[in-house]
Amino acid sequence: MKMNISFPATRCQKLTEVDDEHKLPTFYEKCMTTEVAADALGEEWRVMWS
């Protein structure tokens, strides 16, 4: 699944691909503009966006 993650306050965007099936359920049944905690994607995302 390709995801475009953005932070509108700084106009920063990151396009990434998530291949781990265990991380994807966090995004199921969410709208395109729904905010989701990055913790669900793993430790590397927690450090990157905090």
Q: How does pLDDT run across 3-27, given as a tens digit for each residue? A: 888 888 898 888 888 888 888 888 8
Please state the domain extents for the chain. 2-48
Which position has the token pair 């966090």? 26
Q: How does pLDDT run across 35-46, given as a tens digit for each residue? A: 887 777 777 776
Let me know: does 4 contact 13? Beta carbons within 8 Å.
yes
5-43: b (≥16 Cβ within 10 Å) or e: eeeeeeeeeeeeebeeeeeeeeeeeeeeeeeeebeebee
Residue 38's SS3 state is helix
**Residue 22: predicted pLDDT:** 83
Let me know: does 41 contact 18? Beta carbons within 8 Å.
yes
Is the full-model pTM beyond 0.85?
A: no
